[in-house]
Each structure stands twice: as C-alpha cells, then as structure tokens.
Structure 1
Amino acid sequence: MVQLSRFPRYRLGHFPTPLEPMHRLTAQLRERYSQVPNLWIKRDDCTGLATGGNKTRKLEFLLGAALAEDADLLITQGATQSNHARQTAAAAALCGLDCKLLLERRQVRDEEYEHSGNVLLDGILGAEITERFPAGTDMAAAMERVAEQARAQGKRPYVIPGGGSNPTGALGYVGCAQELDAAEVPVDWIVHGTGSAGTQAGLLAGLHAMGSGARVLGVSVRQPEQHQIGAVHALGARTAELLGCRDTLPREAVHVDDRWVGGGYGVPTESMVDAVRLLARTEGILLDPVYAGKGFAGLLGGIAEGRFGAGEHVVFLHTGGSAALFGYRETFS
C-alpha cells in the first residue's frame, strides 16, 4: 500500500484528472493501420494551475516541503519557454511566496519565443526572471548562487531542481500511477514525453510499489535513449526507496524511445507538427510543441510500427504546456 499522506503536501491542482477515450482519433488511425490499440488520454493538462500541466503534481509535494521549512522564496530554472517555471510561479503566487526564475537559452529563436507564451505568463504571475543564461550553463550552480545572495539578504529560499525532478517531486506521479491503477479500464501502456525524468520515474516507482503490470514508454525530448534510461532509472529507484519499497526498481522496466527528438530540445520537427494538428483536429485537444507534441509523435510512430496490441489499452499522458505554442507561431503558420 502506497501512503502518500505521510509526506508534506500543499494542494494546488484538480485531481484526479480526467481519463478520456480518443474515439475519433482511434477510428481514423484504424483506417490506416491494421493493429491499433484502444487509445485514451490522461488530461494532466487540466490540473488547473495557470493553464495546468504535469508539474502541478510535483509542486504539491515540493511546496509541502518548502512550507515545512518555512521558506519565503522559491528558486527554480528551466528553458526559455519552461512549463515548469510558469507553474512554479503560479504555485508561489498561490502560497504567498516570492519566486525567482533562471531561464536557459537552449535555443535562440525570435522575439515571440523570448517574450510570449510561458514567459509572458511568468511575469503576469509575479515571478522575477533573474537572468537569461546561455545554453550549457551549470544551472544548478547558478541557482545556488542566487540562493546564497537571497540568504545574505535575510530570505529563506527553497531551491527546486529543473522540472521539479527529484524524489520529492516525483511523488506527484506516484499519485498519478494510483489514479491510473484505479481506472475504469485495465491500463497496458502509458506513453508520454520524457525530459527531466521525474514524471516517468514517479510513474514507474508508483506502479512498482503497487505491483502493477502496466508499462511506461517515455518518448525522449532531449537526451539519447541510454542516457535517459539511466536518468529515469536512478530517480525511479530513489523514489521507490523513499516510498519504502523492499525491492529495487528493475532497470528493464524503463522503456525510452529517442527517435523523435529531431534537432534537439525544443527544436520543431515535422512529426511533432503533424501530431499537434492531428490531435487538435480529431479530439479538439492542444498539445505543446516541446514535450507532449513529440511524445504524441512517438505514440503515433509506435502504432504505425505495431508496437501495441490491437486489444491493449494505451494511455497518452498529456503533460500540458499549450501556452508555449504562442512562442512557435511561425512553425504552425
């Protein structure tokens, strides 16, 4: 039995999120392919925190820990159009905390990318963007420097890693695993875009702790397959240990597909654009161009290859982030 109630938590989101069938998409794909599973979507874009997204689950436990330490300032980092930064800013506002964001220019695009979408929302939510850092910066060290400056000014900072991806944050996706384990259908596969590893690690730790047979496929949006497998497994094992699991999470439980990254993190691909348009025009659901768009492209590619059985129930985990679409207007115009 997984007991999340023993961990500090601050309620931020609307849970459980909906689990919806994708009828029109499934019907259209069955006109193309002979082996199409039963397709569902887990709407973690509907968590409710400043347009929602997967980081809300992680932030409930991270904010719980921060408030338990009497913090008055949140510090975190992410790419320019970071969904995590936007949700952290919203969580800080809701809890009455100050928030400093460090943004890394992992790619250089146009003025819309630099100032619209999530970046616009960061400012509206009251967060301070301390600096724009060049790609490849040691962002953990940069956050610690900002934290030291804050301490010298009498502040009590709580530093959140990029993506909220540590064992405390990953507890949020242990909760999601519990929701899926109790779903109306027997879930065979969960597919999603994987980046900082916390979402996939939390899902795997939760499923492992419950003895579930559901498998998780992370479609990498940044790192090569073996690197991502190592990162997910290491964090998943630490999260399972935090839960009190007696046996170690097996490395072979970690499935990653890195073929949909394209030119790199946040760099548009034709398959991503096609995936975003397909889901929008069949189910009326908007994906984001960095995580969910490439994750959904990986799901479609797996269906085309016959990776999933025709009778299986496959859940696409929508991690949110459609606000970032406004930074990619030229890509979709």
Structure 2
Amino acid sequence: MPDSDLVNRFPRVRLMNGPTPIQQLSHLEKVLGEKRKGVSIWVKRDDLMELGGGGNKLRKLEFLLGEAMAEGCDTVVVTGGIQSNFARLAAAACARTGLACEVVLAQMVPRETEIYQANGNVVLDRLFGAHVHILELGDDAGGFALRRAAEIAASGGKAFVGTLGGSTPVGALGYVGCAFEIESQSTEIGTPFDQVVIPNGSGGMHAGLVAGAAISGRDPFQIRAHTVLSPADACVAATAGKVNAVFELLGSKARIQAEDLNINGTQLGGGYGIPTSEMVGAVKLVGRSEGLLLDPVYGGKAFAGLLSDIETEVIAPGSNVLFIMTGGSPGLFAYADALNSN
C-alpha cells in the first residue's frame, strides 16, 4: 500500500490546499555567520495555510472533523489554554464546514493581564463564531467539555469532544501524512534533511511524524523535539505511548521504546507559556532577519533550542536541518509585554 493511502483511508475534511512549502533561511544563515557552523537551516511553512491564520493544528483537524462528521455530529467542543491555537483553528474549521463550535479555555498559564486574557487567539475564537467558555483557575476543562456534550445531546444535538491539542491517534494522522510530504519534498529539492526540529506540546505532531518516519524507513531519532509543555521525562513517556497508538490505528506491527525518541527539555523554562529570554531572542532574530513570525509558546522556544543545538553541535556542523514552523502568530499579541523590549 502506498504511504499516502495509509492515511487517506480515514474520514477526512480537506482544510488545506496542498503541501506547505519548504524554504531555506538564507538571510538568517548570513546573519549567524560562523556561528551556524555550516548548518543549512530550512523551514517547513505550516504557518502558511489559508484557513484561520494557518498552523499545524489544521493537519489534525482534517481528520478530527472527518471523524466528527462520520459520526453524525453537529457540534465540536474543544479544550485548550486561553491562547490555544487548536481552539482558534477548530473555530475556523467549523465555520468553514458548517459545524457549531464551542471552545473551553482553561487557565494553563499564570498570566492574568488583560492583554493575555482577551487578546490574540481569544479575539479570533469569537470572530470565527465559536461559543467561548473561559474557565476559572483550577476548573477541569475536560470535565466541562463532557458536560457540555451531554447538554447538547439532551437538547437533540450531537457533540464531538476534541481533547487538548487534538493529540489523539486520529489527530496525529495529519502528521503521519506530513512525514510522507517532507520525504517527497526533500527528494524534489535534492536536500536530504539530517534532522527535523519541532516543538512538542501535547505530543500529537511528534507522534505522527515519528510514525510516518518509521513507516518510510527513517530513524525516528532524527526528529528532534523541544518540549514546551511538560518536563522531558514525562514528555518522552507520553509521546511514546501516542506513537504506538498511531501504529495500532494504522494496523502496523511496528512499536517504539522511549529511548527511540529525541526530546530535549532545556527550553521549557518556567513552564508552559511562560516566556524565556531565549524564546524572545529567537522570535526577534527570525523576525528581524527573515520577516517571519515564530509564536511565543511553541515555535519560539523550539527555534531557541535549534540555535542552542547548533552551538553545542547536537546538530552536526555542515548538516541540513528542517524546522517545522507550526504557526500561532496571533499569540504574539497576547505576549506584547514580553516582546516589546528592544
């Protein structure tokens, strides 16, 4: 069975208009000069998608909404933090497909400023027509979402509940397909990528990429993740479980162990969504050298990790590295206080 057929046999709602481009960051390479140690830095522009401001969650939502519609659901209920990119893109995707959307936003980040609580993604959630529930500190978002689903059912509807980040085995199928996409594009441009660098939040993107890489015969350890949500040990264990669940969903007998995963925890800082000086520096460097927007929660920390990996030669001198730009630029406006210093 061709690789693409492995994922195309699942219910899917098309939310993207083809593969996202891969581009070399030539000007950034010039700015870094000798500091880049001959490493060629490329980005896969998963921020460049037409729907909802773009971002990696659309790959997951293609399959999650496919699952919801196959089950006859008329409403999608999703959970996330206040500045959830998944919630924003779920709202946009539901607007496109005619489904009702409710987003349940939990206080996952200790930032109580008005700019954080009401700006950025929250503005877009409402603009796309979602019913927004902002919970108090300590409230259980998952439990709230399930109660809302029960209330919707009681009133004659049927709700699909999307878990944090959409990181179910079905959601991860979007990044199994992305792994095949990268393999094809790498061949087309004649550039083999020695490492693929990503952020790891809820783990679905990493799980899908690892499963897709393994099916394609590549070493999963070549996918280098910087955790932005949980400490490295917890992230490794959770991600390994997700990878194996994806294999099972695909009907593959392949399995991985925790030691097969390449996950680093040095960029987490004080925790999920808490700014670090390294993140701010990476966001500004890429913005000022390439005019591109890294988000402050995921991409900024992961790109700071990439720069550190070049410096410490975790990324081998002279190699080709591909960074996946996962989108999330609306979140920059919620972090203006952290980014506005020169």
Q: TM-score, normalized by length of structure 2?
A: 0.94
Q: Name stretches of at least 5 consecutive residues in structure 2 with no aligned partner.
A: none
Cα distance between partner residues in 2 of 1:96 and 1:133? 30
Contact 1:12 1:60 in 2 (8 A): yes
1:232 aligns with 2:232: no
Deviations 1:212-265 (A, max 9, x none): 236111111121111000111100111012122222134322111111111111
The CA deviation at 1:48 is 1.9
* Aligned partner (choices 168, 186, 192) of residue 186 of structure 1: 192
Contact 2:82 2:134 in 1 (8 A): no
**Which residue of structure 1 lines up, in the alignment, with residue 249 of structure 2?**
242
1:73 aligns with 2:40: no
1:83 aligns with 2:90: no
* Aligned partner (choices 15, 19, 22) of residue 19 of structure 1: 22
**One-letter amino acid of the counterpart of residue 85, structure 1:** A
1:32 aligned counterpart, secondary structure: helix
Cα distance between partner residues in 2 of 1:271 and 1:171? 31
Cα distance between partner residues in 2 of 1:281 and 1:241? 44
Q: Which moved more, 1:251-260 or 1:219-228?
A: 251-260
**One-letter amino acid of the counterpart of residue 259, structure 2:** E
**Which residue of structure 1 lines up, in the alignment, with residue 52 of structure 2?**
50
The CA deviation at 1:14 is 2.8
Deviations 1:266-306 (A, max 9, x none): 11111000000000111110011101111111111111111
**Which residue of structure 2 lines up, in the alignment, with residue 10 of structure 1?**
13
The CA deviation at 1:204 is 0.2
The CA deviation at 1:15 is 2.5
Contact 1:36 1:308 in 2 (8 A): no
Please give the residue correspondences for 1:192-231 in structure 2 after superposition, counting only pairs within 5 Å. 192-213=198-219, 215-231=222-238
The CA deviation at 1:330 is 1.1
Contact 1:103 1:133 in 2 (8 A): no
**One-letter amino acid of the counterpart of residue 48, structure 2:** C
Cα distance between partner residues in 1 of 2:193 and 2:177? 15
**One-letter amino acid of the counterpart of residue 113, structure 2:** D
Cα distance between partner residues in 1 of 2:115 and 2:254? 48
Deviations 1:45-101 (A, max 9, x none): 012221100000000000111111111000011000110000000011011011111
1:118 aligns with 2:125: no
**Which residue of structure 1 lines up, in the alignment, with residue 339 of structure 2?**
332
Contact 1:172 1:202 in 2 (8 A): yes
**Which residue of structure 2 lines up, in the alignment, with residue 159 of structure 1?**
161
**One-letter amino acid of the counterpart of residue 273, structure 2:** G
**Which residue of structure 1 lines up, in the alignment, with residue 263 of structure 2?**
256
2:135 aligned counterpart, secondary structure: strand
Q: What percentage of aligned pairs have identical amino acids?
A: 41
**One-letter amino acid of the counterpart of residue 105, structure 2:** L
Cα distance between partner residues in 2 of 1:80 and 1:32? 37
Cα distance between partner residues in 2 of 1:250 and 1:264? 26
Contact 2:310 2:317 in 1 (8 A): no
Deviations 1:14-47 (A, max 9, x none): 32001000111122223335x3421100000012
Cα distance between partner residues in 2 of 1:176 and 1:70? 27
1:39 aligned counterpart, secondary structure: strand
**Which residue of structure 1 lines up, in the alignment, with residue 137 of structure 2?**
134
Contact 2:78 2:163 in 1 (8 A): yes
* Aligned partner (choices 270, 280, 292) of residue 285 of structure 1: 292
**One-letter amino acid of the counterpart of residue 117, structure 1:** G
1:304 aligns with 2:311: yes
Question: RMSD across aligned C-alpha pairs, in angstroms?
Answer: 1.3
**Which residue of structure 2 lines up, in the alignment, with residue 172 of structure 1?**
174
**One-letter amino acid of the counterpart of residue 170, structure 2:** T
Contact 1:38 1:310 in 2 (8 A): no
**One-letter amino acid of the counterpart of residue 230, structure 1:** A
**Which residue of structure 2 lines up, in the alignment, with residue 108 of structure 1?**
111
2:102 aligned counterpart, secondary structure: strand
Contact 2:103 2:130 in 1 (8 A): yes
The CA deviation at 1:131 is 3.3
Cα distance between partner residues in 1 of 2:317 and 2:87? 39
Deviations 1:105-164 (A, max 9, x none): 1223311111111000000000001232324x4332221111111111111100111101
2:12 aligned counterpart, secondary structure: coil
Cα distance between partner residues in 1 of 2:250 and 2:179? 13
Q: Which moved more, 1:138-147 or 1:294-303?
A: 138-147
